[in-house]
Amino acid sequence: MQLPYQTVTPPDTILPRVFARIEAVTERRARYRRAFDFVLVAFLLAVSVYFCALLVRGLNLSGFSAYVSLAFTDTNIVFAHLGTFVLSLVGTLPVLPLLAVALSSYGMLMALRAATRTMRPGYQYQ
């Protein structure tokens, strides 16, 4: 015995409408994702520029440039005391701004990678 709802067949036009609606929602999400990715790239680019300015200021304050210029002006003394020179050179590096520049640049590159992936034709929001 069949129940009444088992004998009802849906109209032939309902399936294309459902697929069209799903496609429209998918396209809208992909547009939002693209916009978000490009905003994220712009934000991380600004952060990277700010951290680069901090790194340059830190390098100027730490005396790192004086040690580097010594390597080019008086090479005999530098090669005679190479271990001490390298340790003092590494000791004057501003580590925190250098790490911030590296992390923000890495984040910007990953966001740029995601943005270029969403620009591919036929991209579906996952």
Q: Can you tell me which residue has the tokens 């459902």?
A: 18
Q: What is the pTM of this model?
A: 0.68
Q: Tell me the average pLDDT across 39-61.
A: 93
Report the C-alpha gap between 78 and 68 in whole angstroms: 10
- Taking a C-beta distance cutoff of 8 angstroms, is the pair 113, 91 a contact? no
Reported as a single tens digit per residue, the pLDDT across 10-32 is 778 888 888 899 989 988 888 89
User: Does pLDDT of 97 surpass 80?
Assistant: yes
Say which amino acid occupies 126.
Q
Distance CA 89, CA 76 (A): 16
